[in-house]
Amino acid sequence: GGLAVAASLVVSGSKHTRPAEVVDRSDGTYAITFSLDRAGAWSLQASIDNVALPIKHMVNARVAPCAAADCVAVLLDSPGNTGVCGGTSTLRIQSVDLPKTGRLLGGQESVKVVMKPPSSTADGANSWVKPKQTLAAHQTSAARKDAEDLFSLKPVAVVWRETGVFEASLAWQVAGPHLVWVTLDDQSIVGSPITVQVGGGECVPRYCTLSGMVLKGEAMTWRESVLLVTSADRYGTPCVQGGRQVAASVHFSERPLDKSLMQCIPASDRGDGTYFIPLLFKKEGSWTLQVTVDGVDVLERPAKVNAVHGRVYAKQCVVAFSRSGAAETTFDLQDVNRESSAPATTCGEELVVYVQPELYAKGHLMSGEEAVTMRAVSPSGTVLRPACEKAPGSRFAARMTLLEAGTHRLHVAVDGEWVPGCPMDLLAEASTLSPTSCCISGLTNVVHRVGQPFKVEVTGRDAFGNRCRALETSNVSLAVEPLPHVMSHEMHKSPAGGIVVTITMLALGESHISVYINHLCLAARVPVLVRAGPLCLRTSVLSNNEEAITVTAGERNLVVLQARDAQQNPVREGGDELTAALLLEAGPQPVEVMDCNDGTYHFLIAHMTRAGPFKLRVSHNGDERVFEAECLAGPTHAGSCTLSGAEQKVRAGWRHTVRVERRDRFGNLLSRRAQAQGSAALTRFAAKGEGKGLSALNIALKDYATLSEDDHYGVDLEFTPHMMGTYTVSVWAISSGEKVSGSPFSITVGPGLPYAPCCSCTVRDKNAVSAPKEEKSSSWGRLLTKRAPPKPVTTRTILPAGAELVVDLHLRDKFGILAEADMAVDRVRVVCVNQENNESLDLENSAIGKNTMTFQGQLAQIGHYLLHLHAGGERSLLSGHQSTVEVCAGPVAQAEFVGLDALTLKECSTLELPVRCTDAWGNEGATGPALVSIDHFLTMSSWLSSKDTKKRYELTDPVDTGLKTRTANVTFPLAGRWKLMVEILVEGEFTELGDPKFKTLCEHLIDVLDDPNIQ
């Protein structure tokens, strides 16, 4: 293979070509694959290396037959599968893929077309019987009926076309639905049967029909009426296709020449033979109606339609306004939103509100039967309901007079429905200024201070009491008696449209002020009383001239404040409104303030229950001042005193302290400052402790005082129990006999904490013995006498390096009683100390018993170790049968020869080979069986067989000379090169010959010289 072979196919007599695919078979042959898209004669032309072959192969292509599932029937010139009675339609049977791929039919298929007219169609496609069925094949009545319908089927001739399709001509003789079945090789094609809706023939205008309420002769003005036109042929059969020019013309009968009342309305074609015409009558009266189809009148005489005014809906109405001296204004929701304005009127002026149709100006009127309601809501919430009456011009009107200035909400409803835009804003403006209705504020019933300005506001109002901005252009003046120089004032406009007068009185005493507007007196001789300067909190002082306030918890405390002005002059008059509050952690708490009317103010601070610092805030006219204060504890109250440190279980032989904290009846701690001021006296306490079968506790009471910031006083109860058991301790006040809160309380005395000198241990290997047995503890209630610790027995324990050391520790307290292990987990630890380098190793706590603890650890370095115990703050050597551990080297794991580099030997000589052995942890002096093997590389003599050349010598332990090397006496029988090896025996493993298996640790080569003296 490997040639460049190409091929193509060409239709004979044309330029239409199709490509071909060439496959190289690599054996000198080539396969050409192609696909043809049309029938006819084709020419196959091949080329090799762009050289055409002289021979052309002719290929005759035929159309492959199609199956029924690959065919479809298309009805030509009949949109929507419709037909016209008396006409014909062409039915084309083609391939489904014809529009996309151009696939054609072969012509050899058996195609049959059968049509069933509507006269025998009972239930559509289900009533069709295949053409191959006969009447004799049906025995039942139902099957016989289907067979009778078989003869109503009309076969249609089918013709083959050269274009690759089948065609059949269908003639429509009657109107109605027709069923058309198409079979290919006795199989129904896709979409069969086809339903064809056959309508009437050519549309005849005088046979067309009209329908609609307008034909009854009555219609509503300005309300759309619908007229439906149905086209039909000369037999009255409705047409199923549109396309006709249908229109309706109407004109007002009373004024037939008025073009504004003439309409020519085209119809909307629905495409199914029906036409829709919307009619709108804009004037009440008689109208003339005529309908034309293709320019021909449908009605022999024009129809008369009487249009009357109907009820107007709320959505068709708008609201218009009219007032005296102004033109009528119409507003709706869209206008208000667009212009951002609302209709305006003046208070006291009559306003007419009209409700009318939106097209009122074009003649759309109301029938008068509508129910129109209206209500207006003022800014203050007052509801005004004016009566709505019929007005000239067929509309409704309501008259109202608004007396309140501001925006009113207008609600208008027609037949219970809101008019668009409702609720609507209606703005009422104030009327003209009325001087007699103006008001003045800030002048009467006020006490004024010298040099302190105050403001007087004059507000303009109309006759109805509404604010009026016309005061800004009026003349406002003030007059003072008896002397004009005792007052200064300034005037300016206020944002609300009034006049604000700022007045400053310059002299003490009583003066009279008069106010005039446009020379009319508004207020005559108003008395004004002027007093001293105002109270100033910054300069006011406490009665004791101190900055801090001290109160006692539980008592009524009175704090006096002397008022002063800004110049620090005492104020001798009261009347100033002071407010006070305690600033506590829980939040501000108001304080009662009493005005003594002499310039002093009393603050009653009571119900203080919590001791500590706090603040007193005093406010006056927006000015505030905060005084530092402190609440001290009251007298000691035994029932409120608390106990701390009264645990339920204590240790025998250990000093225990229970603290009684001195508190008042509110639970406040007694502080050092309260004791120094004498606000709280010290109370003496007494205590005793007893137990069943136990000796009484010797309790010592000592007063204490802390020196921290939260200092307080109290009493400490100190005692040391020597017997195990339960004690009941009572604490009471000597003066009152009242017991302290929490008294009496119980104390359970148990074993003490582990004491290192009294503990013992057992040292073992991990794989030796399990955990030690628990010892029985002493009985309760027995007097504990301090026993001497057990005498240590220092027996040396030898362990190989890497072994797991286990120490079983027996815990005892300082009295020799077994201690509980669960309470001493964090207080006990065992440390192994190497005597040679003083390195220590903490053993890990692996198990906890009732009175025992087990520690373990791995010792990898050889040496002598001492076991130290840390317990209860004491440190001592562990006592027991074994407290000293000696770690020696482990089994041989590595080895090397020593001093063989510069050694010269002769045959038959014996050499003592030194070998340094180490264990897995690198410790020298490893023990265990080890051998030195020698192997001759080449046999020099025939009398020495190869099997005898390999010999093994056992290593001997080193002599106690300080060196840790082991030796072996080796004899070399022959000269030559020998291989030295150190081997160990692998237990339980054997070679293929059944000999024991050895593991080589190290190797060394040595040369042995020939000795001429040996024959």
pLDDT-based confidence at residue 443 (cuts at 50, 70, 90):
confident
924 vs 928: CA distance, rounded Å: 13
604 vs 594: CA distance, rounded Å: 8
Do 346 and 428 meet the contact criterion of CB atoms below 8 Å apart?
yes
pLDDT-based confidence at residue 446 (cuts at 50, 70, 90):
low
928: tokens are 């265990």
Region 819-837 average pLDDT: 80
pLDDT at 477 over 50: yes
842: tokens are 């903490």
Region 580-603 average pLDDT: 87
900 vs 855: CA distance, rounded Å: 47
Do 715 and 642 meet the contact criterion of CB atoms below 8 Å apart?
no
Do 968 and 956 meet the contact criterion of CB atoms below 8 Å apart?
yes
pLDDT at 340 over 50: no
pLDDT at 176 over 50: yes
pLDDT of residue 589: 87
653: tokens are 């032989």
pLDDT of residue 124: 36
pLDDT of residue 845: 83
- Asked, as a colleague might, if the bond just before 744 is cis with ω within 30 of 0, I would say yes
197 vs 113: CA distance, rounded Å: 17
> 122-136, 200-214, 890-904 — which is least confidently predicted?
122-136
User: Could you tell me where the DSSP H helices lie in 126-268?
Assistant: 141-150
119 vs 900: CA distance, rounded Å: 129
Question: Residues 459-490, buried b or exposed e (16+ Cβ, 10 A)?
Answer: bbbbbbebbbeebeebebebebeeeeebbeee
Longest CA–CA separation in the chain, Å = 170
pLDDT at 901 over 80: no
220-229 confidence digits (pLDDT tens): 777 778 888 8
Q: Strands 905-906, 996-1009: parallel, antiparallel or unpaired by DSSP?
A: parallel
pLDDT-based confidence at residue 31 (cuts at 50, 70, 90):
very high
Amino acid of residue 702: K
pLDDT at 288 over 80: yes
Amino acid of residue 214: V
977 strand-pairing partners = 1007
pLDDT of residue 328: 56
Within 10 angstroms of residue 811's Cβ, the number of other Cβ atoms is 31
Region 54-71 average pLDDT: 80
pLDDT of residue 449: 73
pLDDT-based confidence at residue 949 (cuts at 50, 70, 90):
low
Region 267-292 average pLDDT: 84
Run of H or E residues at 336? helix 333-339
pLDDT of residue 485: 62
125-170 confidence digits (pLDDT tens): 333 333 333 333 333 444 445 444 545 678 888 888 877 788 888 8
pLDDT at 758 over 70: yes
pLDDT of residue 127: 33
pLDDT at 604 over 80: yes
Region 707-718 average pLDDT: 70
260: which residues sit within 8 A by CB, 6+ positions away?
A: none
> pLDDT: is 438 or 152 the higher one?
438
pLDDT of residue 330: 53
Amino acid of residue 617: R
What is the percent of the chain with per-residue pLDDT over 90, rounded to a whole number?
A: 1
DSSP class of residue 361 equals G
Do 402 and 380 meet the contact criterion of CB atoms below 8 Å apart?
no
> 131-140, 657-666, 734-743, 924-933 — which is least confidently predicted?
131-140
Do 155 and 66 meet the contact criterion of CB atoms below 8 Å apart?
no
Run of H or E residues at 2? none
pLDDT-based confidence at residue 122 (cuts at 50, 70, 90):
very low
Region 18-38 average pLDDT: 87
Alpha-carbon torsion angle 982, 987, 989, 992, nearest 10: 50
pLDDT-based confidence at residue 339 (cuts at 50, 70, 90):
very low
pLDDT of residue 785: 39
pLDDT of residue 945: 44
555-571 confidence digits (pLDDT tens): 888 888 888 877 677 78
- Asked, as a colleague might, if the bond just before 54 is cis with ω within 30 of 0, I would say no
Region 421-435 average pLDDT: 83
Which of 429, 424, 427, 360 has the alpha carbon at shortest distance from 395? 360
> 187-196, 264-273, 473-482 — which is least confidently predicted?
473-482
Helix H, strand E, coil C: the string for 65-130 is: CCCHHHEEEEEECCCCCEEECCCEEEEEEEECCHHHHCCCCCCCCCEEEEEECHHHCCCHHHHCCC
695: tokens are 């000796």
Region 568-585 average pLDDT: 83
pLDDT of residue 192: 84
Radius of gyration of the chain (CA): 64
Amino acid of residue 294: D
> pLDDT: is 695 or 927 the higher one?
927
Mean pLDDT, the chain, integer = 78
102: tokens are 């151009």
Region 494-498 average pLDDT: 74
Do 377 and 406 meet the contact criterion of CB atoms below 8 Å apart?
no
Q: Which residue has the tokens 């040679």?
A: 836
280 vs 456: CA distance, rounded Å: 68
Alpha-carbon torsion angle 840, 844, 847, 852, nearest 10: 20
Region 160-189 average pLDDT: 83
Do 331 and 318 meet the contact criterion of CB atoms below 8 Å apart?
yes
685 vs 662: CA distance, rounded Å: 10
620-638 confidence digits (pLDDT tens): 888 888 888 888 888 888 8
> 71-85, 123-137, 319-333, 627-641 — which is least confidently predicted?
123-137
Region 932-955 average pLDDT: 66
State the Cα angle at 559 between 558 and 565, rounded to 5°.
145
DSSP class of residue 538 equals T
Within its chain, how far is the Cα of 506 from the centroid? 68
373-403 confidence digits (pLDDT tens): 888 888 888 888 888 888 887 788 888 888 8
pLDDT at 792 over 80: no
180: tokens are 């058309």
544: tokens are 């004791």
Assign 473 to helix, strand or coil.
helix
pLDDT-based confidence at residue 29 (cuts at 50, 70, 90):
very high
Which of 400, 333, 410, 397 has the alpha carbon at shortest distance from 366? 397
Phi-psi region of 758 (alpha: psi -120 to 50; beta: other; left: phi over 0): alpha
pLDDT of residue 946: 46
550 vs 543: CA distance, rounded Å: 13
Region 955-967 average pLDDT: 75
pLDDT at 851 over 70: yes
> pLDDT: is 570 or 959 the higher one?
570
Amino acid of residue 618: V
Alpha-carbon torsion angle 939, 942, 947, 953, nearest 10: -70
Amino acid of residue 895: A
Run of H or E residues at 673? helix 672-676
